[in-house]
Structure 1
Protein backbone atom coordinates (compact mmCIF):
# COMPACT_ATOMS: atom_id res chain seq x y z
CA UNK A 1 0.00 0.00 0.00
CA UNK A 2 2.83 2.38 0.83
CA UNK A 3 5.08 1.31 -2.04
CA UNK A 4 2.26 1.00 -4.58
CA UNK A 5 -0.43 3.48 -3.48
CA UNK A 6 -3.93 3.34 -4.94
CA UNK A 7 -4.01 7.05 -5.78
CA UNK A 8 -1.37 8.72 -7.87
CA UNK A 9 -2.67 12.25 -8.34
CA UNK A 10 -2.83 15.22 -6.01
CA UNK A 11 -5.53 15.51 -3.38
CA UNK A 12 -6.27 19.11 -4.24
CA UNK A 13 -7.89 21.76 -2.05
CA UNK A 14 -8.44 25.49 -2.33
CA UNK A 15 -6.72 27.79 0.15
CA UNK A 16 -9.37 29.51 2.32
CA UNK A 17 -9.93 33.28 2.57
CA UNK A 18 -7.03 35.05 4.24
CA UNK A 19 -4.50 32.64 2.76
CA UNK A 20 -2.20 30.38 4.72
CA UNK A 21 1.37 30.53 5.95
CA UNK A 22 3.31 27.30 5.40
CA UNK A 23 5.61 25.91 8.13
CA UNK A 24 8.66 27.20 6.23
CA UNK A 25 7.27 30.78 6.27
CA UNK A 26 6.04 31.00 2.67
CA UNK A 27 2.58 32.55 2.18
CA UNK A 28 -0.04 31.04 -0.13
CA UNK A 29 -2.86 33.43 -1.16
CA UNK A 30 -6.57 32.62 -0.86
CA UNK A 31 -8.26 30.55 -3.61
CA UNK A 32 -4.94 29.04 -4.73
CA UNK A 33 -5.30 25.38 -5.65
CA UNK A 34 -2.74 23.31 -3.82
CA UNK A 35 -2.31 19.72 -2.89
CA UNK A 36 0.10 16.95 -2.21
CA UNK A 37 0.66 13.71 -4.06
CA UNK A 38 0.21 10.59 -1.85
CA UNK A 39 3.02 8.87 -3.77
CA UNK A 40 5.41 11.58 -2.62
CA UNK A 41 4.27 11.46 1.02
CA UNK A 42 4.67 7.68 1.25
CA UNK A 43 8.24 7.88 -0.14
CA UNK A 44 9.45 10.59 2.27
CA UNK A 45 13.05 9.64 3.11
CA UNK A 46 12.98 11.75 6.27
CA UNK A 47 10.14 9.61 7.57
CA UNK A 48 10.69 6.17 6.00
CA UNK A 49 14.50 6.21 5.72
CA UNK A 50 17.01 6.42 2.89
CA UNK A 51 15.58 3.18 1.46
CA UNK A 52 12.02 4.59 1.27
CA UNK A 53 11.59 3.15 -2.25
CA UNK A 54 12.33 -0.36 -0.97
CA UNK A 55 9.77 -2.85 0.34
CA UNK A 56 11.12 -3.49 3.83
CA UNK A 57 8.33 -4.39 6.29
CA UNK A 58 10.69 -4.41 9.26
CA UNK A 59 10.84 -0.60 9.11
CA UNK A 60 7.60 -0.75 11.14
CA UNK A 61 9.30 -2.67 13.97
CA UNK A 62 11.24 -1.24 16.89
CA UNK A 63 14.68 0.06 15.85
CA UNK A 64 17.79 -0.75 17.84
CA UNK A 65 18.81 2.32 19.79
CA UNK A 66 15.34 3.91 20.01
CA UNK A 67 14.94 5.71 23.32
CA UNK A 68 11.86 3.84 24.41
CA UNK A 69 8.18 3.17 23.87
CA UNK A 70 7.26 6.84 23.38
CA UNK A 71 9.83 7.37 20.59
CA UNK A 72 8.80 4.14 18.84
CA UNK A 73 5.09 5.00 19.13
CA UNK A 74 5.69 8.52 17.75
CA UNK A 75 7.71 7.21 14.77
CA UNK A 76 5.16 4.53 13.84
CA UNK A 77 2.24 6.97 14.29
CA UNK A 78 3.90 9.39 11.84
CA UNK A 79 4.35 6.58 9.29
CA UNK A 80 0.69 5.54 9.71
CA UNK A 81 -0.45 9.14 9.24
CA UNK A 82 1.56 9.37 6.01
CA UNK A 83 0.09 6.15 4.59
CA UNK A 84 -3.43 7.13 5.72
CA UNK A 85 -3.06 10.41 3.83
CA UNK A 86 -4.20 8.50 0.74
CA UNK A 87 -7.75 8.71 2.08
CA UNK A 88 -7.64 12.47 2.41
CA UNK A 89 -7.65 14.32 5.70
CA UNK A 90 -9.90 16.30 8.01
CA UNK A 91 -13.29 17.26 6.62
CA UNK A 92 -12.35 15.78 3.23
CA UNK A 93 -11.43 12.30 4.46
CA UNK A 94 -12.94 9.40 2.49
CA UNK A 95 -16.14 8.18 4.15
CA UNK A 96 -15.29 4.61 3.15
CA UNK A 97 -11.78 4.65 4.65
CA UNK A 98 -12.46 2.23 7.51
CA UNK A 99 -14.53 -0.15 5.38
CA UNK A 100 -11.84 -0.18 2.68
CA UNK A 101 -9.14 -0.96 5.24
CA UNK A 102 -11.16 -3.81 6.77
CA UNK A 103 -11.73 -5.24 3.28
CA UNK A 104 -8.01 -5.03 2.47
CA UNK A 105 -6.99 -6.66 5.76
CA UNK A 106 -9.49 -9.48 5.17
CA UNK A 107 -8.50 -9.91 1.50
CA UNK A 108 -4.75 -10.06 2.14
CA UNK A 109 -5.05 -12.29 5.21
CA UNK A 110 -7.28 -14.74 3.29
CA UNK A 111 -5.15 -14.60 0.14
CA UNK A 112 -1.82 -15.19 1.88
CA UNK A 113 -3.30 -17.89 4.13
CA UNK A 114 -4.54 -19.85 1.09
CA UNK A 115 -1.72 -19.16 -1.40
CA UNK A 116 2.04 -18.89 -1.45
CA UNK A 117 2.87 -15.89 -3.66
CA UNK A 118 6.47 -15.28 -4.73
CA UNK A 119 7.99 -12.77 -7.11
CA UNK A 120 9.89 -14.64 -9.81
CA UNK A 121 12.37 -11.76 -10.08
CA UNK A 122 12.38 -9.44 -7.04
CA UNK A 123 14.53 -6.90 -8.94
CA UNK A 124 12.12 -6.66 -11.89
CA UNK A 125 10.63 -3.17 -12.18
CA UNK A 126 6.82 -3.20 -12.33
CA UNK A 127 4.90 -1.08 -14.80
CA UNK A 128 2.58 1.66 -13.49
CA UNK A 129 -0.16 3.58 -15.23
CA UNK A 130 -1.51 6.62 -13.42
CA UNK A 131 -5.02 7.81 -14.21
CA UNK A 132 -6.17 8.96 -10.76
CA UNK A 133 -5.95 5.36 -9.57
CA UNK A 134 -2.60 3.62 -9.96
CA UNK A 135 -2.75 0.53 -12.17
CA UNK A 136 0.09 -1.96 -11.80
CA UNK A 137 1.10 -4.56 -14.37
CA UNK A 138 3.98 -6.75 -15.48
CA UNK A 139 4.51 -8.23 -12.01
CA UNK A 140 5.98 -11.69 -12.69
CA UNK A 141 5.11 -14.02 -9.83
CA UNK A 142 4.16 -17.59 -9.06
CA UNK A 143 1.02 -18.40 -7.09
CA UNK A 144 0.75 -21.80 -5.47
CA UNK A 145 -2.17 -23.05 -3.40
CA UNK A 146 -1.07 -23.94 0.13
CA UNK A 147 -1.90 -27.38 1.51
CA UNK A 148 -4.88 -27.38 3.84
CA UNK A 149 -3.75 -28.39 7.32
Structure 2
Protein backbone atom coordinates (compact mmCIF):
# COMPACT_ATOMS: atom_id res chain seq x y z
CA UNK A 1 0.00 0.00 0.00
CA UNK A 2 2.88 2.33 0.69
CA UNK A 3 4.13 1.85 -2.88
CA UNK A 4 0.78 2.58 -4.56
CA UNK A 5 0.08 5.56 -2.28
CA UNK A 6 3.57 7.01 -2.76
CA UNK A 7 3.39 6.48 -6.53
CA UNK A 8 -0.03 8.16 -6.76
CA UNK A 9 1.35 11.22 -4.96
CA UNK A 10 4.24 11.38 -7.44
CA UNK A 11 1.86 10.97 -10.39
CA UNK A 12 -0.28 13.82 -9.08
CA UNK A 13 2.82 16.01 -8.91
CA UNK A 14 3.37 15.53 -12.64
CA UNK A 15 5.50 12.42 -13.06
CA UNK A 16 4.57 9.92 -15.76
CA UNK A 17 3.54 6.45 -14.66
CA UNK A 18 5.99 4.93 -17.14
CA UNK A 19 8.91 6.89 -15.66
CA UNK A 20 7.84 6.07 -12.10
CA UNK A 21 7.67 2.36 -12.87
CA UNK A 22 10.95 2.24 -14.75
CA UNK A 23 12.69 4.26 -12.01
CA UNK A 24 11.38 1.84 -9.40
CA UNK A 25 12.62 -1.10 -11.47
CA UNK A 26 16.01 0.59 -11.82
CA UNK A 27 16.35 0.42 -8.03
CA UNK A 28 16.28 -3.36 -8.40
CA UNK A 29 18.78 -3.69 -11.22
CA UNK A 30 16.19 -3.03 -13.91
CA UNK A 31 13.98 -5.90 -12.76
CA UNK A 32 10.24 -5.55 -12.05
CA UNK A 33 10.46 -6.37 -8.35
CA UNK A 34 7.53 -4.20 -7.32
CA UNK A 35 5.38 -5.31 -4.41
CA UNK A 36 1.98 -6.23 -5.81
CA UNK A 37 3.18 -7.11 -9.28
CA UNK A 38 4.51 -10.30 -10.85
CA UNK A 39 4.70 -13.73 -9.27
CA UNK A 40 7.82 -15.81 -8.78
CA UNK A 41 6.51 -18.98 -10.41
CA UNK A 42 3.19 -18.43 -12.21
CA UNK A 43 2.26 -15.89 -14.87
CA UNK A 44 -0.81 -13.83 -14.11
CA UNK A 45 -3.02 -14.10 -11.04
CA UNK A 46 -6.48 -15.61 -11.35
CA UNK A 47 -7.44 -14.08 -7.99
CA UNK A 48 -7.39 -10.58 -9.49
CA UNK A 49 -10.18 -11.42 -11.98
CA UNK A 50 -12.22 -12.99 -9.17
CA UNK A 51 -11.84 -9.87 -7.01
CA UNK A 52 -12.73 -7.59 -9.94
CA UNK A 53 -16.03 -9.47 -10.24
CA UNK A 54 -16.73 -9.17 -6.51
CA UNK A 55 -15.82 -5.49 -6.56
CA UNK A 56 -18.26 -4.89 -9.40
CA UNK A 57 -21.03 -7.03 -7.87
CA UNK A 58 -20.79 -5.08 -4.62
CA UNK A 59 -21.03 -1.76 -6.47
CA UNK A 60 -17.58 -0.37 -5.75
CA UNK A 61 -16.20 2.03 -8.32
CA UNK A 62 -12.64 1.97 -9.57
CA UNK A 63 -10.85 4.70 -7.62
CA UNK A 64 -7.66 6.58 -8.34
CA UNK A 65 -5.36 4.02 -6.70
CA UNK A 66 -6.86 1.11 -8.61
CA UNK A 67 -6.76 3.14 -11.82
CA UNK A 68 -3.05 3.74 -11.16
CA UNK A 69 -2.53 0.04 -10.39
CA UNK A 70 -3.86 -0.83 -13.86
CA UNK A 71 -1.63 1.84 -15.43
CA UNK A 72 1.39 0.35 -13.65
CA UNK A 73 0.35 -3.09 -14.85
CA UNK A 74 0.18 -1.84 -18.44
CA UNK A 75 3.76 -0.56 -18.27
CA UNK A 76 4.95 -3.84 -16.72
CA UNK A 77 3.12 -5.88 -19.37
CA UNK A 78 4.73 -3.86 -22.17
CA UNK A 79 8.23 -3.85 -20.70
CA UNK A 80 8.50 -7.14 -18.80
CA UNK A 81 5.45 -9.26 -19.61
CA UNK A 82 4.48 -9.11 -15.92
CA UNK A 83 1.10 -8.26 -14.43
CA UNK A 84 -0.57 -7.26 -11.20
CA UNK A 85 -1.03 -9.87 -8.49
CA UNK A 86 -3.65 -10.03 -5.74
CA UNK A 87 -1.50 -7.95 -3.39
CA UNK A 88 -1.33 -5.11 -5.92
CA UNK A 89 -5.07 -5.21 -6.48
CA UNK A 90 -5.86 -5.37 -2.76
CA UNK A 91 -3.41 -2.60 -1.89
CA UNK A 92 -4.96 -0.28 -4.46
CA UNK A 93 -8.53 -1.23 -3.53
CA UNK A 94 -7.96 -0.73 0.20
CA UNK A 95 -6.19 2.57 -0.48
CA UNK A 96 -9.23 3.73 -2.46
CA UNK A 97 -11.40 2.88 0.55
CA UNK A 98 -9.29 5.17 2.75
CA UNK A 99 -7.45 2.52 4.76
CA UNK A 100 -3.90 3.09 5.92
CA UNK A 101 -1.31 0.38 5.32
CA UNK A 102 -1.34 -0.46 9.04
CA UNK A 103 -5.13 -0.84 9.12
CA UNK A 104 -5.09 -3.12 6.09
CA UNK A 105 -2.29 -5.25 7.54
CA UNK A 106 -4.27 -5.63 10.75
CA UNK A 107 -7.51 -6.81 9.18
CA UNK A 108 -5.72 -8.95 6.57
CA UNK A 109 -3.89 -10.84 9.32
CA UNK A 110 -7.04 -12.93 9.77
CA UNK A 111 -6.61 -14.16 6.18
CA UNK A 112 -3.32 -15.77 7.13
CA UNK A 113 -4.79 -17.22 10.31
CA UNK A 114 -7.76 -18.69 8.44
CA UNK A 115 -5.41 -20.25 5.88
CA UNK A 116 -3.35 -21.87 8.60
CA UNK A 117 -6.51 -23.14 10.28
CA UNK A 118 -7.76 -24.63 7.01
CA UNK A 119 -4.43 -26.44 6.47
CA UNK A 120 -4.52 -27.75 10.03
CA UNK A 121 -8.07 -29.08 9.69
CA UNK A 122 -7.28 -30.61 6.30
CA UNK A 123 -4.37 -32.60 7.71
CA UNK A 124 -5.57 -33.32 11.25
CA UNK A 125 -6.51 -36.96 10.59
CA UNK A 126 -3.58 -37.74 8.30
CA UNK A 127 -0.53 -39.73 9.43
CA UNK A 128 2.41 -37.83 10.96
CA UNK A 129 4.98 -36.31 8.57
CA UNK A 130 2.52 -36.06 5.65
CA UNK A 131 1.89 -32.31 5.92
CA UNK A 132 4.83 -30.40 4.44
CA UNK A 133 7.02 -33.50 4.77
CA UNK A 134 10.10 -31.66 3.40
CA UNK A 135 12.13 -29.73 5.87
CA UNK A 136 14.13 -26.64 4.99
CA UNK A 137 17.30 -28.67 5.57
CA UNK A 138 16.18 -31.10 2.85
CA UNK A 139 16.55 -28.42 0.16
CA UNK A 140 19.93 -28.15 -1.53
CA UNK A 141 19.72 -24.54 -2.70
CA UNK A 142 22.47 -23.69 -5.18
CA UNK A 143 21.31 -20.29 -6.45
CA UNK A 144 22.73 -16.84 -5.78
CA UNK A 145 23.31 -15.88 -2.15
CA UNK A 146 20.61 -13.91 -0.32
CA UNK A 147 20.59 -10.21 -1.17
CA UNK A 148 20.44 -7.55 1.53
CA UNK A 149 17.06 -6.11 2.39
CA UNK A 150 16.97 -2.45 1.31
CA UNK A 151 16.13 0.16 3.94
CA UNK A 152 12.50 1.16 4.22
CA UNK A 153 11.53 4.28 2.29
CA UNK A 154 9.62 6.93 4.18
TM-score (normalised: structure 1): 0.29
Bigger strand fraction? 1
Bigger helix fraction? 2
TM-score (normalised: structure 2): 0.28
